[in-house]
Amino acid sequence: MKKMMSFVGMVLYVTLLQAQTWIWYPGDYEIWLGNQMNNRRTERGAFFPPFWKIDSHYVVVEFGKQFELGQPEEIFIAVEGKYNVKLDGKLQFGMPETLMLPAGKHTLNVKVWNQATPPAIYIKGRTIHSDSSWRVTYEDKEWIDESGKASDTSATVYMNAGCWNFDGATQRPSEFMLNREPMQAISREKVKSGELIDFGKETFGYIAFKNLSGKGCLNIYYGESKEEALDTDYCETLDRLQLQLGKVMNLATNEVASAGDYVLDDSKAFRYVYIETEPGVHFDDVEMEYEFLPVEYRGSFRCNDEELNRIWEVGAYTMHLTTREFFIDGIKRDRWVWSGDAIQSYLMNYYLFFDRDAVKRTIWLLRGKDPVTSHSNTILDYTFYWFLSIYHYYMYSGDEAFVAQIYPRMQTMMEYVLGRTNNNGMVEGMTGDWVFVDWADGYLDKKGELSFEQVLFCKSLETMALCAGILDNKTDRDKYTGLSTALRAKLESAFWDESKKAMVHNRINGMQSQEVTRYSNMFSVIFDYLSPEKRKNVKDNVLLNDSILKITTPYMRFYELEALCILGEQEIVMKEMKDYWGGMLREGATTFWEKYNPQETGVQHLEMYGRPYGKSLCHAWGASPIYLLGKYYLGVTPVKEGYREFRIAPDLGGLKWMEGKVPTPGGDIYVYMDASKIKVKAGEGRGYLYFTSQKTPKANIGTIQRLDGNKYRLWMDTRDEVVVNYR
């Protein structure tokens, strides 16, 4: 990065430098760990890997650091892989575990080979230690010339190293595991020829038997619902064990372990398990080991409406279950990382855990390695969400260092997209592309130029231009600005139907279709692509128009309700949230679902993909109220990257009172609002509070500024609590 680092960038940089930590080639550990994650899915006892290209780490990587020491210093070296150490270019004997560094200016290099797990190093000295300031390359194009010396014209490509939180020498990255905690069932009853165990709510982990003994088979059928667990022919996941001579064999994985207190070696999602045993098999009890990523619940929301509070809590729990090594779609199915699902998890995460590392890990994994040979998860729209997710991450975190690391892969991904545009500079589904948009209970045309895809494409090009600008890459910035401006200019002429006063769904061979769908219309509102008048048209003719194809996934409801909030319809959205998410709660949901159609009843809710229990009942995209409540009711958003400036625009949306916290890089923003006052306390310190008032409002700190009509704002530049009496 040639540009001066921003204040936020500096803060992050210094933070990252504080301690020695295991480092690797950026993205490599994430991709490797992602393979562990994505390859854990099973379907009725069969291993079920993803159906897109799976990448892997660079197997030979060199780490380097220039340093200047006032006095000699001994360093400790730990490495995952076979390695050598060079001091000022001179190879040291063997694989040294300690090294005395001389005083003065020197260069230290460690080159590591590891086929099975990512090359990683950990170095600890008094002042020298491994951290993200180290440079790393997988392809140092240095060479010896005729004189035997490294040539000056070498073109070594260096990156700053990647890291997470493996700050101890024995915390080897390849040995990372999530946390576990024992959990008991709430009931255990004889049903049919076996036992049904209920853990009281949707959960995730490893079934554990106490005192398992005997000889014969034991079958475990998992269910997110009671119906699924009891349906041994159709439940989505199961385990089969074989006991004999004090040993247990898992017949799906062929792993053998001792009987007695036995814990399954693969994790599953379930609320219920149904267990059938052959007569010779015995156990005293069944428990589970709950598995989870340790996260802090930094965000919060409480209000006078208990149902809404419950919606927030169930949303938060849904998010916690799906926030793991990566943000996955659902815990029963697919247990995979999908770009369209992940971007919503990131946004909810910014209002709940603010776990930056989980976001970065997921973005790396979704991108994988070059060459790009297909769209993200093979899905056209998911590629665009991937770009958009980097825009969001930058806005919420201000992390320029990450932009610098990921930018080369943004370039190659965008080159892939640009290599597949048509003569209008627009994208259409080509061979090998999955044009997804959404699951819909009705026909969705996927042919030709979809307005939805072009809107996402346009925002992706804008994101390229933004990131190029951050990195002072003027050539790219100008190129992508040109492309995005050109596409943006075409959107209305191509898709706006002046008679329908809305964007139509698609255009085939230059012919606008007659179909209007919600997708491009709501994204145009979210991206602020429309004039105030057209926004109003979209609201009336599309978003609030019941004759337009309804959305039945929480996935697209996320954007639909966001668009309505942007249009100031918090009261309508509040009602929708209570109807839709409240509806799932009334159906007994303990986590939110992949899809919910209020028209369906009973076991209809469990069916999907033509399978009776195909639907995931714990799906991250089900948790959107977490995001909506934080962003559009508490009303907190970053205006400048990393909350360098915030905007707080609380809106009760019909509630009597609400309070909550929104996490930010520098602290939290606390908001309380009732019918007469607003209280705000912001760790970040700088930004505007927006509100409406029917009388002349008063504040304990600062000067209130009147905008149009009854709209006011207050510039905050304090970490003290600001109280505004507005009615």
CB of 240 to its own copies, least distance (A): 7
Q: Contact with its own copies (CB under 8 A): which of 52, 176, 527, 657?
A: 52
Distance CA 472, CA 1 (A): 7
Q: Are 617 and 318 in contact (CB under 8 A)?
A: no
Residues 444 and 450: their CA atoms lie apart, in Å, by 10
4 part of the interface to its own copies, by CB under 8 A: no
Please report how close the Cβ of residue 679 comes to its own copies at its closest, in angstroms: 48
- Cβ–Cβ under 8 Å, residues 664 and 706: no
Q: Which is nearer to its own copies, 60 or 185 (CB)?
A: 60
Q: Is 247 a residue that touches its own copies (CB under 8 A)?
A: no
Q: Does 44 bind its own copies (CB under 8 A)?
A: yes
Nearer to its own copies, 330 or 663 (CB): 330
Interaction mask 387-416, its own copies, x per CB under 8 A: -------------------------x----
* Residue 222 main-chain phi, psi, to 5 deg: -95, 145
Residue 566 CB neighbour total at 10 angstroms: 16
Between residues 254 and 694, which has the closer beta carbon with respect to its own copies? 254
The one among 67, 439, 527, 688 contacting its own copies by CB under 8 A: 439
Tokens of 102: 């001389």
Nearer to its own copies, 333 or 631 (CB): 333
d(CA 391, CA 404): 13
To its own copies, the closest distance from the beta carbon of 378 in angstroms equals 6
Site membership for its own copies, residue 553 (CB under 8 A): no
Q: Least distance in Å: CB of 433 to its own copies?
A: 9
84 binds its own copies (CB under 8 A): yes
Contacts of 137 (CB under 8 A, 6+ apart): 61, 62, 64, 156, 157, 158, 159
In angstroms, the CA 644 to CA 396 distance is 9
Q: Which stretch binds its own copies (CB under 8 A): 247-255, 350-358, 487-495, 525-533?
A: 247-255
* Binding of its own copies by 610 (CB under 8 A): yes
How far separated are the first and last CA of the chain, in Å rounded?
50
Q: Are the C-beta atoms of residues 464 and 388 closer than 8 Å to each other? A: no
* 434 makes contact with its own copies (CB under 8 A): yes
Pick 274 or 353: Cβ nearer its own copies: 274
What is the pattern of x (binds its own copies, CB under 8 A) and - over residues 13-42? -------------------x--x---x---
* Contact between 485 and its own copies per CB under 8 A: no
| Among residues 6, 92, 232, 718, the one that binds its own copies under rule CB under 8 A | 92
* Site track 97-126 with its own copies (rule: CB under 8 A), x = hit: --------------x-x-xxx---------
Asked if 475 interacts with its own copies (CB under 8 A), we say no
Among 16, 76, 142, 282, binds its own copies (CB under 8 A): 142
* Inter-residue contact 281 to 216 (CB < 8 Å): yes
How many angstroms separate the CA atoms of 714 and 699, rounded?
Answer: 9
**Which residue among 74, 139, 284, 540 contacts its own copies (CB under 8 A)?**
139
Q: Cα–Cα distance between 561 and 522 in angstroms, integer?
A: 9
Which run of H or of E encompasses 561? helix 554-566
Instruction: Check binding of 611 to its own copies (CB under 8 A).
Output: yes
Residue 178 CB, nearest approach to its own copies (Å):
19
What number of chain residues touch its own copies (CB under 8 A)? Answer: 69
The contact mask relative to its own copies for 345-384 (x = CB under 8 A, - = no) is: -------------------------xx-xx---x------
Q: Which of 28, 30, 80, 140 binds its own copies (CB under 8 A)?
A: 140
Gap between the Cα atoms of 198 and 263, Å rounded: 18
Distance CA 546, CA 493 (A): 26
Query: Among residues 22, 24, 58, 290, which is the contact residue for its own copies, using CB under 8 A?
Result: 58
Q: Where does this chain touch its own copies (CB under 8 A) — which range of 100-108, 224-232, 603-611, 617-625?
A: 603-611
Distance CA(395)–CA(644), nearest Å, equals 9
Using the rule CB under 8 A, is 177 a contact of its own copies?
no
Secondary structure E strands in 320-435: none
Secondary structure of residue 551 in the 3-state scheme: coil
- Would residue 198 be called left, alpha or beta, if left means φ above 0 and alpha means ψ between -120 and 50 degrees? beta
Q: Which stretch binds its own copies (CB under 8 A): 300-308, 434-442, 651-659, 709-717?
A: 434-442
Min separation Cβ 438 and its own copies, Å: 10
Pick the binder of its own copies from 2, 4, 14, 46 (CB under 8 A).
Answer: 46
Q: Is 511 among the residues that bind its own copies (CB under 8 A)?
A: no
Whole-angstrom CA distances from 486 to 317, 343, 505, 522, 532 are: 43, 26, 20, 21, 21
Return the DSSP state at 5. Answer: P
Pick the closer one to its own copies by CB: 8 or 252.
252
Quickly tell me which residue has 């005083």 as its tokens: 103
Q: Is 94 in the site for its own copies (CB under 8 A)?
A: yes
Which one of 1, 6, 16, 56 is in contact with its own copies (CB under 8 A)?
56
For its own copies, the binding residue among 11, 54, 185, 566 (CB under 8 A) is 54
Nearest distance from residue 643's CB to its own copies, in Å? 37
Sequence-distant (6+) residues with CB within 8 A of 550 are 441, 442
704 binds its own copies (CB under 8 A): no
User: Which residues, 6+ apart, have CB-to-CB distance to 254 below 8 Å?
Assistant: none
141 touching its own copies, by CB under 8 A: yes
Burial of 175: CB neighbours in 10 Å, binned 0-12, 13-18, 19+: exposed
158's CB contacts (< 8 A; 6+ apart) are: 64, 135, 136, 137
Stretch that binds its own copies, among 148-156, 267-275, 353-361, 698-706 (CB under 8 A): 148-156
Separation CA 279–CA 296 (nearest Å):
46
Closest contact distance (angstroms) between CB of 612 and its own copies is 12
Residue 271 CB burial class (10 angstroms; 0-12, 13-18, ≥19): buried
Provide the total of helices (H) and of strands (E) in the chain, helices listed first.
Answer: 15, 40
Peptide bond into 279 cis (omega under 30): no
Q: Which of 233, 251, 234 is nearest to 242 (CA)?
A: 251
Q: How far is the CB of 115 from its own copies (least distance, A)?
A: 6
Query: Crossing angle, helix 380-397 and helix 356-367, to 10 degrees?
Result: 150
Q: Which residue from 146, 233, 498, 708 is in contact with its own copies, where contact means CB under 8 A?
A: 146
* Element housing 317 (H / E): helix 306-322
Q: How near is the Cβ of 383 to its own copies at its closest, in Å?
A: 14
Q: Token pair 């970490």 is at which residue?
A: 719
Q: Contacting its own copies (CB under 8 A), which of 11, 16, 60, 395?
A: 60
Q: Is 47 in the site for its own copies (CB under 8 A)?
A: yes
Tell which one of 4, 14, 51, 493 touches its own copies (CB under 8 A): 51
DSSP character string of 418-443: HTTB-TTS-B---TT-B--S---SS-
Q: What residues from 622 to 651 belong to the interface with its own copies (CB under 8 A)?
A: none
Site of interaction with its own copies (CB under 8 A): 32, 35, 39, 43-60, 82-85, 91-95, 111, 113, 115-117, 138-144, 146-148, 151, 153-155, 240, 251-254, 370-371, 373-374, 378, 412, 431-432, 434, 439-440, 609-611, 614
